[in-house]
Homo-oligomer: A and B are copies of this chain.
């Protein structure tokens, strides 16, 4: 029943976890750029090449938690109840994540989460890496949309691109609200409204505003 995978595998997972945890700990305390990978490696008592065998780049030490959300949008579309439109499922899901104060929505006032988001949105190299994760997400979502039936490949890819982009923008928008010092109780209703606005635009187009 337990997923016993042998001592070796267990150790590897523990090392991986320790590296990521320690790294984030240090990053939050001293800032991403003020911590060298050598520092992280030393703190975990591991050599530098070993660290890079676990994480391909310094940025991934900070982002691999986010990587766990990989393909979430695609999953929402694939797993939606039959009869529901993809966009409706995504909209509902986003609202739910908002209510759950999911960090990926940018709207979470836990001190550590906020510090993490601040770091994320103010460190160019982290943002760049985040975009690359988003690209993969977009690809997966496009696949799920094609699977969903309507539209050709191009339409699906365009739609996926727009959707993922809007998610990123909404998260950034929410983070900005908090960064401006607003309380989460104050910002949450607005965040819901923003999300609805965004999904209205996605669904009905920019036409009403910019095409006539």
Whether, in the assembled complex, A1 has its beta carbon less than 8 Å from a beta carbon of chain B, the answer is: no
Please name the residue on chain B nearest to A194 by beta carbon: B154
Complex Cα distance A141/B96, Å? 31
Q: Can you list, as one digit per residue, whether each of A151-181 has a CB less than 8 Å from chain B (1) or not (0)?
A: 1001101110111011011000100000000
Interface size class of A (residues with CB under 8 A): 35 or more
Query: Given A128-B131, A173-B154, A212-B85, does the pair A204, B207 have CB atoms closer than 8 Å?
Result: yes
Contacting residues, chain B, for A169 (C-beta < 8 A): 157-158, 161
What's the number of copies of this chain in the assembled complex?
2
Whether, in the assembled complex, A136 has its beta carbon less than 8 Å from a beta carbon of chain B, the answer is: no
In the complex the two chains form, is A162's CB within 8 Å of B206's CB? Answer: yes
Contacting residues, chain B, for A212 (C-beta < 8 A): 85
Q: Which one of A197, A206, A209, A211 has the highest number of Cβ atoms from chain B below 10 Å of its Cβ?
A: A206
In the complex the two chains form, is B209's CB within 8 Å of A206's CB? Answer: no
Which one of B158, B197, B198 lies within 8 Å of A201 (CB-CB)?
A: B158
Contacts A151-B209, A159-B210, A165-B165 known; list 5 others, CB within 8 Å: A87-B206, A150-B210, A161-B168, A204-B204, A204-B207
8 pairs from A and B in contact (CB 8 Å cutoff): A128-B132, A131-B131, A154-B197, A159-B206, A159-B209, A159-B210, A202-B206, A203-B210
Residues of chain A touching chain B, judged by Cβ–Cβ distance below 8 Å, are 85-88, 124, 128, 131-132, 145, 148, 150-151, 154-155, 157-159, 161-163, 165-166, 168-169, 173, 194, 197-198, 201-207, 209-212
